[in-house]
Amino acid sequence: MTTGVFELDLNLDLGEDVEEFRTELRRWLDGRVPRLVPGMDEAELFDARRRWQRDLFDAGWAGIAWPREYGGRGAGPLQQFVYYEELTKAGAPEPVNQPGIILFGPTLMVLGSEMLKKQYLPRMLSAEDIWCQGFSEPEAGSDLAGVRTTAVLQDDHYVVRGQKVWTSWATYSDRCALLCRTDPSAERHRGLSMLILDLHQPSVEARPITQITGDHREFGELFIDGAQVPVDHVAGEPGGGWAFAMAMLEHERSDLGLHNHARLQARVSQIGEVIAAAIADGRLARADAADLKRRLADVWIRCGLLRDFNAGTALRLANGEEPGARSSIIRLYWSELVQAVGELALACAGPGSAITDEFAFDFLHSRHTTIASGSQQIQRDIVAQRVLGLPRHRTA
């Protein structure tokens, strides 16, 4: 991993205990990081990542900001910030179960019952249970409140019917945080509840969807026809599904970014090496070299600023502030940066040279960043209306 100029120091004193944490983590990581073998198929890759998550959990290095009673480390957001950086620098595999550990878990801690927390959180952190997030439907994309999947209460359980789509890790998952309609008579935002669905039922079918990259991992859809959910498996209040979903999305928009700057910086460094080699070889026309250099500097600066954004978020969380609607600013910044890096990776292949599979994957995959978790347009609505206070033109 390149160091030096790529590591823009923040000049912020994260505190002695945070630096001690960093040192301790580095010491633990040394020699323990599994190397993923090129050519692994998707299922093997997922298994390897799952085992790595288990290793982290067993050694007390999973769920840094999670309370100890749920298997976490009980540290703060600053340690979490450092954690992601160090894992990336050590070349660790991407953590598994992100929808659970980053989004659903922390929200459940605030809004869920004690029973659900005890039953599900430790197993989520250890990756014994893999979680997915059942939000989008064929008729409910950006307009999430339009979900049609129904859950009807019968005696002591709900009976669920409907379809979820573009669900990440659906085919690998054991549990789903399912947004569905429990009260068809209520106003559309109020009739929703967040249910915990056990996917291992005959009435649930998970099918993969091939993504834009040609990859079958990650994406899937769920067909649910009469699945059962115990009545006490509502996360949050019955009818409180919208609030629960929004709290999850705020986590997604801010927290998810926390581990992204380090990976992006590493990728930019790699692209820099490709460009430097091409210039040294005299392979690039002057105009191409100038263009690539300008774009390299641009993404390099923005990666450094993303790190600032993330550190700033961590510091604010540590001060007890909630990111709220401002998380959409980070989401916008991050999503456009990921795409700019993807574009640059593609461009630096240059005329007459092949686009590597890795860079092609990055570019194609990067298109999701302005769609998932609320499209770029939804995020801009949120910034305009909830950060700048402009009048609403619709619910945001």
Partner 1 sequence: MQAPLTRDQSEFGSIVARIVSDARSGAVRPAPDVDDVPFDADLWSTLRDGGYLAGVAAGGDPVLRGLLSEEIGYRLAPVPVAGSVVGAGALLAEVAPDDQLTEAVLSGEVVAAIAVCDEIVVAGSGGGEVLLSGVVPRVDPLRHADRFLVTGPQGLFVVPASADGLERRPHRFDLTVDAGGLGLHDVPAHRLASGTSEGAGRAIALIRLARACEAVGAARRCLDLTVEHLTVRHQFGRPLGTFQALQHRCAIATVEFEAALSAVRRACRAEAGGDERLAVHIDAAVVSAERALRCAASTAVQLHGGMGFTWEHEAHLYLRRSRAWTAGAETVARTVERIADAVLAEAGRP
User: Which residues carry out catalysis?
Assistant: 252
Residue from 160, 296, 341, 347 binding partner 1 (CB under 8 A): 296
Q: Tell me whether residue 223 or residue 333 sits nearer to partner 1 (CB atom).
A: 333
The reply on whether position 308 binds partner 1 by CB under 8 A is: yes
Q: Tell me whether residue 61 or residue 81 sits nearer to partner 1 (CB atom).
A: 81
Distance CA 172, CA 101 (A): 15
State how far the alpha carbon of 36 is from the alpha carbons of 44, 45, 46, 91, in Å.
10, 7, 10, 10
* Contact region with partner 1 (CB under 8 A), list: 22-30, 162-170, 316-324, 346-354: 316-324
Q: Tell me whether residue 170 or residue 271 sits nearer to partner 1 (CB atom).
A: 271
Distance CA 234, CA 70 (A): 19
The reply on whether position 304 binds partner 1 by CB under 8 A is: yes
Q: How far is the CB of 293 from partner 1 (least distance, A)?
A: 4
Q: What are the beta bridge partners of residue 221?
A: 207
CA-wise closest residue to 334 among 381, 370, 375, 385: 370
The reply on whether position 347 binds partner 1 by CB under 8 A is: no
Residue from 156, 202, 280, 354 binding partner 1 (CB under 8 A): 280
The reply on whether position 111 binds partner 1 by CB under 8 A is: no
Residue from 24, 58, 273, 358 binding partner 1 (CB under 8 A): 273
The reply on whether position 348 binds partner 1 by CB under 8 A is: no
In total, the chain counts a number of residues equal to 396
Q: Tell me whether residue 180 or residue 275 sits nearer to partner 1 (CB atom).
A: 275
The reply on whether position 294 binds partner 1 by CB under 8 A is: yes
Residue from 300, 359, 361, 363 binding partner 1 (CB under 8 A): 300
Please name the residue ranges forming H helices in the chain.
Answer: 16-29, 42-58, 77-89, 98, 105-111, 114-125, 241-254, 260-281, 286-318, 327-347, 357-366, 376-382
Q: Tell me whether residue 212 or residue 387 sits nearer to partner 1 (CB atom).
A: 387
Type of residue numbered 33 = V
Distance CA 101, CA 94 (A): 13
Distance CA 158, CA 151 (A): 5
The reply on whether position 282 binds partner 1 by CB under 8 A is: no
Query: Are the CB atoms for 224 and 207 separated by under 8 Å?
Result: no
Distance CA 133, CA 270 (A): 33
Distance CA 38, CA 53 (A): 19
Q: How far is the CB of 327 from partner 1 (least distance, A)?
A: 8
* Contact region with partner 1 (CB under 8 A), list: 47-55, 103-111, 131-139, 307-315: 307-315
Q: How far is the CB of 314 from partner 1 (least distance, A)?
A: 9
Question: Cβ-count burial of 357 within 10 angstroms (0-12 exposed, 13-18 middle, 19+ buried)?
Answer: exposed
Q: Residue 274, by phi and psi: left (phi above 0), alpha (psi -120 to 50) or beta?
A: alpha
The reply on whether position 287 binds partner 1 by CB under 8 A is: no
Residues 5-64 that bind partner 1 (CB under 8 A): 5-6, 8-12
The enclosing H or E element of 166 equals strand 157-168
Q: How far is the CB of 387 from partner 1 (least distance, A)?
A: 7
DSSP 195-212: EEEES-STTEEEEE---T
| Contact map string, positions 375 to 394, toward partner 1, x by CB under 8 A | --x-xxx-xxx-xxxxxxx-
Distance CA 116, CA 50 (A): 22
Residue from 89, 188, 216, 293 binding partner 1 (CB under 8 A): 293
The reply on whether position 301 binds partner 1 by CB under 8 A is: yes
Q: How far is the CB of 251 from partner 1 (least distance, A)?
A: 15
* Contact region with partner 1 (CB under 8 A), list: 18-26, 98-106, 318-326, 347-355: 318-326
Binding footprint of partner 1 on the chain (CB under 8 A): 2, 4-6, 8-12, 268-269, 272-273, 275-277, 279-280, 293-294, 296-298, 300-302, 304-305, 308-309, 311-313, 315-316, 319, 323, 326, 329-330, 332-333, 336, 377, 379-381, 383-385, 387-393
